[in-house]
Structure 1
Amino acid sequence: MHRLRSRTLGAMLAGSAMMLVQPASAQATDVDADVIPDPEGPTPAAGPVTQSASANQIIVTARRREEALQDTPIAITAINAAMLENKNSLNIGNLQGEAPNLLITQQNSGAAAANLSIRGLTYADIEKSQEPTVGVVIDGVFIGTNTGQLLDFFDIEQIEVLRGPQGTLFGRNTIGGVINIRRTRPTFEFGGKAEASYSRFGTWSTRAVLNFGVGDVIGFKPFYFHNETDGYYRDGVTGERRGAATNDNYGIAMAVQPNSDLDFLLTVEKQEQDFSVVNAVITNDTELFCGFAPPDLCNRDTGDDLYTVFGQPAGGTYNAPALTAELNWDTGPVRLTSVTGWRKSSENQTQDFDATPVDLYYTRRIQNYSQFSQEVRAAGDLFRGFDYVVGGYYFNSDFDLLQYTKFFGFAPDLDPLEADTNPQSVIGSTESYAVFGDFNWAFADNLRLSFGGRWTKDKKSLSNSFAQLGLVGQGEASFDKFTPKVGVDWRPNPDTMLYASWSRGYRSGGFSPRAATAATAGTPFGPETVDSYEIGTKLDLLQGRLQFNLAGFVSKYDGLQQNTTIPGGPTGNQTITSNVGSATIKGIEADATFSPVTGLRFNATIGYLDAQFDDFVAGNVVGSVILPFDYSANNPIYSPDLTASLGAEYVQPVSFGELVGTLGYRFIDNYDQQISLGPLSGDLVNGPVIVGGNDPRVRTDKQSLLDATLTANFALGQTDAYLSAFGRNLLDDRGANAAFTVAGLFSFASAREPRTYGVTAGVKF
């Protein structure tokens, strides 16, 4: 298989000058009615750049076509480069709250890892065998693990947040939605931008992007980003800062465009991270570890206490090279595109899970991951009023994990590599094939039918062993699913679109990486699916000054995959993944953009969720037996009832250039971060045991996040320059970023960023 992948990659690169995609028309009955060409002409390597006659119009590629945001019959939020720069956004985590029903939190158990939730659909796990519920797609390449998803925002052209299942057009596992990220492409002309920033907690960064070309045919774009911080935690004994991290991302993109119909883009890059891992102890006196920790480290709160930590030093390194090749060709009647992606990562990380100085549970995890993907698409107009995108997709990933564990080691200075003579080894792989099609048919005046589907076949294997005990168990299984989508949209007038759709999302089954017996390691869990029903409207009002979008949806979630703890294995219990039940999620979303006068823009979003389990029964360990526990009354995780945002941006010309001010407020309601044990009732001896909710320690407080920036744009000789002052979380809203309880043993958490502020200076040329 390695030789086959190598030959496939070589063939894709050798044929790089073969294909160019151009957008199918947004509405075949009125080709490009709302879109006009850029008067300066197309940007090389990027395909046609378009702008709307409306000042607020944004062009998106959410359906693998370039079309106006207001003409796209799905719930989508688009954020372009100017919006990111004006808000001084750092990484993907700063999108939290910017789109309705979107949550993004950092997962500190993995390098540059994110917990993503859209419309209450999430799966917060760092294991490489557990696939993301929300797809992150970078330049057309799906990222198969949540590690490495916290991307730098300096070189981003546009981000699109697609809400709801997107299983027709996007790679894999888009059961909750997609965050589609497009980076800038080489311009073929000499130019670039560079900036440096400094902010609270010893945080500073330098970033640079350079563009230059060889004639009009070859363009290069080298880039380098560096970020580092001292961290915002305090050591409870020494008073020193904790949570330090450095991150470097560098590479080069090369574009080749021999003519207007032919295009090739190759990006080679690498991310390197060196970081400390900090956990705050939230163990209480109902848990075993509380009896071994100092008394003042039990029963701490999940607010200000989280920012003072006492655990042993821990950290990790992360190295991740990647390659992306985009091959494009316009043959005239058919536009073809091919996207090849290869990514690899190596991680070595320690973590003090008990978060106390006593050395009760400390691990070292050494793992390697690689993925290869290939997508080929064809797009065009079959006849007037009917356009299509069809294609095929291949994905392969391999990983291996070696975990060394100190359990009640009582030896803080002893590395788990030396302490654990029986480390656990997990080796797994995934191979996936898919074919897909997406079609638009304008079958009547102002009426359009959208339909399509994807058939996916997944093959997975996993082997679980211990160094001394040998092979515990292994398994291999295949899963396949057809995920259709159908929708209709109606435009009673040029400023109004109404739409309705039904779509199905699919997340493959697999094997439990933490299984510790032959039976559990060799038994697969099944796929989970979501059926989503949505209606919505998109309005363009007040002669283009106001855009207002509204959507309502109902999602039926079946085959819910969830981790549960049962007896077995060397430590007496094990964590396995099972299909435990179903859920119904209902919601309403709205977003608006209003530009009342030149230079002033307001934006607002609101999302409401009603997420409930229909049934959720899992086996839990009580003594030496497994009893059925009914979690149906618990809250689904990462599902706040309400999310909302309100922002304003004002541009004021001045004698030296212009001032740009932004002010943004985000509200995020309470939400739970783990399915866990709260109050218990029912038959506590024989079962079923009724769980009356999640542990209150894993429930966040309500968040009120206020951000502001003030930027001066001015000329510095022949160069454009800017100086910006910014503040994030100005209200200093503190609380948990993540919290977790472990089977009556201990609990730990991490904290979200407190108030911070800083300055940025940069140039563009």
Structure 2
Amino acid sequence: MKNGLLLAASVLALSATPARAQSASPPEGQAEEKTVGIGEIIVTARQRSESLQTVPVAVAAMDAAMIERSFIPDVDSIEKFMPNVELGRHPFTGGGMSASIRGISFGDLDRAFEPAVAVSVDGVFLASNTGAMMDTFDIEAIEVLRGPQGTLFGRNTIGGVISIKRTKPTMDWGLKGQVTVGSYNVREYKAIANIPIVADTVGLKVGGYRERSDSFTRRISDGKREDGIDRYSIFGALRFNPGSAFDATLSVDRIQDRSHYPSLVPISAANQTFCIAFGACIGTQGQQIADSGNKLALDDYPFYARLQHTAVTLNAKLDVIDGISIESITNYTRQKDGLNIENTGAAPLANGAHVFVSKRDQKASQFSQEVRAISSFGGVFDFVAGLYYMKSKFDLVQTVEVAGTRSQFFDAGQDLNAYAAYAEAYIEPVDRLRLTVGGRYTHEKKDFYIRFRNPVTGVITGQCPDAASLYGPCADPSVTFRKFTPRVTLDFRFTPDIMVYAGWSRGYRSGGWNSRATVTTAIGPYQPETVDSYEAGLRTTFWENRARANITVFRAEYKEKQEEVITASPINPLITQTQVQNASSATLQGFEGEFQLAPADWLNLRAAVGYIDGKYDEFLSAGVDVKDQRNLRYAPKWSVSFGGDATIPLEATGGEILLNANYKWTDRFATSIIRDTTGFNRDFIDAYATVDASIGYRHELGDRKTVNLSAFVQNAFHNDGRLYRKVITGPFAFASREVARTWGISLGFTY
């Protein structure tokens, strides 16, 4: 840790924020002037276009140009540039992404559990983070809002929001394509075409991508690599823009993801059933995998997580009167996803049976409608106000096989109806002093069912709802939640280049049911959790617009935190059950520093540092406070990144060399809530660092045509794979793993 911090400290004064969103456009009819120093960063963190340096919100952003230069293939890779943000692929659901911001997270992506960090795509909030692992090829900008955003940004934004905006049809002819090949047989083919239908009024965008690769792991049986990524997407958008007063875009997306992931790693200890009975032990089979550089697969059973995703979205904006516009966002999404996995990573048994196979098939859908009014008076008062509705539904079927024999079989599902009304006002009572005050009222109802079945015959052995159930909530598994979440912020601009702010907001995450309960008494319900977040920040620009330094401090007080708790069943005390309960309270505090420097027109440097001090104040299990035996997950104490990019003209060819590099160091952090007392460090991921770099050549061919040839390397100085998620359950423990160094060559063109 000391080496990483010293290395970061040596460049903090010369570095840059990880946010470079879309630059402000010149007035219509005027030529674009070359920006001196750092270009203005425009964000929509408050549902209106504003300069990052004037927004009293902790937000970081990346635009399409930086994403392309940094060779960021998927949304989760942006965490390498942002402080106190931990994102990662969640392989236990199709296209899934786990997210933690400032140590606030929830590790399970079961659809009955609300995500702690919300994902928004073109203003549409995903009911689940299944499918959130988006490709970046068609992305215009990504904004990450740290801290609760419950006023303006929809449901369950207790930790923050990842807001993704894709490109709109340009209303002009255009073509963009890219081919990438790389390590582990990576093959990627991507293209977008823009077509004008009616000049300056109707435009069409169509595109798609195809991605294939092998895994970095090899099967012990035949030495061949396990299967890897296998997905494609086709998409289209039709835009109608008859004039400045109205703009509407209808988009349709189809994703087919049939990806496989590296098999798991057994890390069960000697006191766990699966180590004793099946040899899935950390010291033997787990050590065998570790000795291979985490590249060995002990079982041939594939880790298969599939997704079919179809979405239709209509975004429309109408200027109704001078200074007020109405925006409407309508979406319907349908998903089918499945999981088929050997859940321990252990070698097969002597008779060829696999140790623990879990299979899950799900169908889900969501419909949402949001309408909001936004003012742009530009004086002492402005506002945003809106109404929101979401209806979502899912149904799942799950089976479990142990040693070749089916031991569990059930199906479950839920219907959700959520309504909300919100408003936020921006008042400037005196020059340069601005008050932000707002709130959101949310009303939700969740209707749940579950049917336990005989593992062999499929006959129902127990179910909810059941009017005769001895467990009260099972008689009518329906819950309703209501919550008001306010925000108050005060900011003051000392000069146009120096702004300070301080504020308080309340975050909220809905309660509900447990759709993976193994006994009736484990279904719930559990209640909502809340966070009171206090935040203060400094935004500065200096050295003739060539340097920026943004500092944010925060404190979050977590109440009624939802946790997995193992208890005895109230119906049969001889049976244990895993319930989600509002078992704990916690306090997290820390700071973020984001820095940017442009010492020359051709050079940009950046750096970020994040610090989190988090602890449980209380964690109750069966009435006993066990906080000393629990970990706050995904909350590394320190995270540091720095890097930069350079554009070097070549007069001889008329082209330019593009250089980019980034270093990210992350402190150790827990991924298992249960503290490991065996000495094997099974609850923590060790501190690690990654170095990414690229070099490219770009040439303009005239008439808007460009061609790019680039070579890149990611995680350059590590050859071995690493464990990045560890889970300790009652009978067994396992870990996920990810690839180390990868490289590639990319050829792209635009017209």
Separation in structure 1 between the aligned mates of residue 139 and residue 614 of structure 2, nearest angstrom: 33
Match of 1:757 in 2: 743
Deviation at residue 272 of structure 1 after TM alignment: 0.5
- Between the two structures, name the one with larger relative contact order (CA 8 Å, sep ≥ 6): 2
Structure 1 pair 304–455 and aligned structure 2 pair: CA distance change class (3 A)? farther
Separation in structure 2 between the aligned mates of residue 572 and residue 323 of structure 1, nearest angstrom: 46
Separation in structure 1 between the aligned mates of residue 599 and residue 178 of structure 2, nearest angstrom: 32
List per-residue Cα deviations over 1:631-658 (Å, max 9, x = no partner).
3453300000001100111100013210
Work out whether residues 41 and 51 of structure 2, in 8 Å CA contact, stay in contact via their aligned partners in 1.
yes
Match of 1:478 in 2: 480
List per-residue Cα deviations over 1:464-494 (Å, max 9, x = no partner).
1123234432410001110000001101111
Work out whether residues 611 and 635 of structure 1, in 8 Å CA contact, stay in contact via their aligned partners in 2.
no
Work out whether residues 289 and 295 of structure 2, in 8 Å CA contact, stay in contact via their aligned partners in 1.
no
Separation in structure 2 between the aligned mates of residue 364 and residue 98 of structure 1, nearest angstrom: 36
- Residue 327 (1) aligns with residue 316 (2): yes
Give secondary structure in 2 for the equivalent of 1:84: helix
Deviation at residue 602 of structure 1 after TM alignment: 0.2
Gaps of 5+ in 1: 1-33, 44-48, 411-418, 620-626, 681-693
Structure 1 pair 114–35 and aligned structure 2 pair: CA distance change class (3 A)? closer
Matches within 5 A, 1:265-664: 265-277=249-261, 278-294=263-279, 296-297=284-285, 305-311=293-299, 312-333=301-322, 334-356=324-346, 357-358=348-349, 359-381=354-376, 384-409=379-404, 419=406, 423-467=409-453, 468-474=459-465, 475-521=477-523, 523-568=524-569, 572-619=575-622, 628=624, 630-632=626-628, 634-654=630-650, 655-656=652-653, 657-664=655-662
Work out whether residues 729 and 754 of structure 1, in 8 Å CA contact, stay in contact via their aligned partners in 2.
yes
Give secondary structure in 2 for the equivalent of 1:97: helix
Structure 1 pair 208–180 and aligned structure 2 pair: CA distance change class (3 A)? same
Give secondary structure in 2 for the equivalent of 1:244: strand
Work out whether residues 373 and 394 of structure 1, in 8 Å CA contact, stay in contact via their aligned partners in 2.
yes
Deviation at residue 382 of structure 1 after TM alignment: 6.6
Give secondary structure in 1 for the equivalent of 2:727: strand
Work out whether residues 597 and 605 of structure 2, in 8 Å CA contact, stay in contact via their aligned partners in 1.
yes
TM-score w.r.t. the length of structure 2 is: 0.89
Match of 2:672 in 1: 674
Work out whether residues 617 and 627 of structure 2, in 8 Å CA contact, stay in contact via their aligned partners in 1.
no
Matches within 5 A, 1:194-273: 194-214=177-197, 215-273=199-257
List per-residue Cα deviations over 1:441-464 (Å, max 9, x = no partner).
111111000110100011112111
Separation in structure 2 between the aligned mates of residue 757 and residue 131 of structure 1, nearest angstrom: 36
Work out whether residues 51 and 59 of structure 1, in 8 Å CA contact, stay in contact via their aligned partners in 2.
no
Work out whether residues 728 and 757 of structure 1, in 8 Å CA contact, stay in contact via their aligned partners in 2.
yes
Separation in structure 2 between the aligned mates of residue 630 and residue 477 of structure 1, nearest angstrom: 29
Separation in structure 2 between the aligned mates of residue 644 and residue 193 of structure 1, nearest angstrom: 34
Structure 1 pair 63–408 and aligned structure 2 pair: CA distance change class (3 A)? same
Separation in structure 1 between the aligned mates of residue 397 and residue 562 of structure 2, nearest angstrom: 24
Amino acid at match of 1:659: I
- Greater alpha carbon shift after TM alignment, 665-674 vs 274-283: 274-283
Deviation at residue 575 of structure 1 after TM alignment: 2.2
- Greater alpha carbon shift after TM alignment, 281-290 vs 449-458: 281-290
Work out whether residues 205 and 237 of structure 2, in 8 Å CA contact, stay in contact via their aligned partners in 1.
yes
Structure 1 pair 698–42 and aligned structure 2 pair: CA distance change class (3 A)? farther
- Greater alpha carbon shift after TM alignment, 230-239 vs 480-489: 230-239
Separation in structure 2 between the aligned mates of residue 65 and residue 587 of structure 1, nearest angstrom: 28
- Greater alpha carbon shift after TM alignment, 291-300 vs 659-668: 291-300
Match of 2:473 in 1: none
Give secondary structure in 1 for the equivalent of 2:105: coil
Work out whether residues 37 and 51 of structure 1, in 8 Å CA contact, stay in contact via their aligned partners in 2.
no
2:76 corresponds, among 86, 93, 107, to 93
List per-residue Cα deviations over 1:281-316 (Å, max 9, x = no partner).
222323221234357415557685532121322414
Give secondary structure in 1 for the equivalent of 2:416: strand
Give secondary structure in 1 for the equivalent of 2:80: coil
List per-residue Cα deviations over 1:246-279 (Å, max 9, x = no partner).
0111110110011221111011011101122421
Percent sequence identity over aligned pairs: 31
Match of 1:31 in 2: none
List per-residue Cα deviations over 1:126-183 (Å, max 9, x = no partner).
2101111001111000011111111000111111111000111001110000111111
- Greater alpha carbon shift after TM alignment, 717-726 vs 244-253: 717-726
Separation in structure 1 between the aligned mates of residue 30 and residue 332 of structure 2, nearest angstrom: 29
Amino acid at match of 1:751: R
Separation in structure 2 between the aligned mates of residue 260 and residue 302 of structure 1, nearest angstrom: 60
List per-residue Cα deviations over 1:406-430 (Å, max 9, x = no partner).
12326xxxxxxxx46x621111121
Give secondary structure in 2 for the equivalent of 1:70: helix
Separation in structure 1 between the aligned mates of residue 286 and residue 65 of structure 2, nearest angstrom: 47
Match of 1:28 in 2: none
Separation in structure 2 between the aligned mates of residue 303 and residue 506 of structure 1, nearest angstrom: 44
Work out whether residues 284 and 299 of structure 1, in 8 Å CA contact, stay in contact via their aligned partners in 2.
no
Structure 1 pair 41–526 and aligned structure 2 pair: CA distance change class (3 A)? farther
Work out whether residues 490 and 499 of structure 1, in 8 Å CA contact, stay in contact via their aligned partners in 2.
yes
Give secondary structure in 1 for the equivalent of 2:98: strand
Amino acid at match of 1:67: E
Work out whether residues 564 and 578 of structure 1, in 8 Å CA contact, stay in contact via their aligned partners in 2.
yes
Structure 1 pair 565–695 and aligned structure 2 pair: CA distance change class (3 A)? farther
Gaps of 5+ in 2: 1-21, 454-458, 466-476
Give secondary structure in 2 for the equivalent of 1:170: coil
Amino acid at match of 2:649: P
Separation in structure 1 between the aligned mates of residue 47 and residue 449 of structure 2, nearest angstrom: 37
Separation in structure 1 between the aligned mates of residue 154 and residue 429 of structure 2, nearest angstrom: 29
Separation in structure 2 between the aligned mates of residue 229 and residue 177 of structure 1, nearest angstrom: 32
Deviation at residue 106 of structure 1 after TM alignment: 1.2
Separation in structure 2 between the aligned mates of residue 376 and residue 54 of structure 1, nearest angstrom: 38
Match of 1:79 in 2: 62
Separation in structure 2 between the aligned mates of residue 173 and residue 41 of structure 1, nearest angstrom: 43
Separation in structure 2 between the aligned mates of residue 487 and residue 132 of structure 1, nearest angstrom: 25
Match of 1:23 in 2: none
Matched residues, number: 696
Work out whether residues 585 and 618 of structure 2, in 8 Å CA contact, stay in contact via their aligned partners in 1.
yes
Work out whether residues 302 and 697 of structure 1, in 8 Å CA contact, stay in contact via their aligned partners in 2.
no
Matches within 5 A, 1:28-39: 37-39=25-27
Give secondary structure in 2 for the equivalent of 1:106: strand
Amino acid at match of 2:311: A
Separation in structure 2 between the aligned mates of residue 51 and residue 114 of structure 1, nearest angstrom: 38
Work out whether residues 282 and 301 of structure 1, in 8 Å CA contact, stay in contact via their aligned partners in 2.
no
TM-score w.r.t. the length of structure 1 is: 0.87
Work out whether residues 102 and 159 of structure 2, in 8 Å CA contact, stay in contact via their aligned partners in 1.
yes
- Residue 65 (1) aligns with residue 40 (2): no
